[in-house]
Amino acid sequence: MTSILRSLWNDDRGQDIAEYAVMLAVILVIVVGTIRLVGTNANNVFSSVSSSIQ
């Protein structure tokens, strides 16, 4: 029983998947934040250009 628990404790195959999931989540947060920031700024620029043309 002790050897089974020890082998499960030392098994780190699932650790790689968890690390990739955390990296993916961080990248997605950065990308979504950047898109929202750029989208808001682009909307403001297009609105000011539109109002200056009229």
Mean pLDDT within 8-18: 69
pLDDT tens column, 17-42: 778 889 999 999 999 999 888 887 88
Q: Which residue type, as a one-letter code, is found at position 11?
A: D
Concatenated DSSP letters of the chain: -HHHHHHHHH--HHHHHHHHHHHHHHHHHHHHHHHHHHHHHHHHHHHHHHHHH-
pTM given for the model: 0.55
Mean pLDDT within 1-15: 71
13 has a pLDDT exceeding 70: no
Q: What is the pLDDT of residue 29?
A: 96
Domain that holds residue 35: 2-53
Structural domains in the chain (count): 1
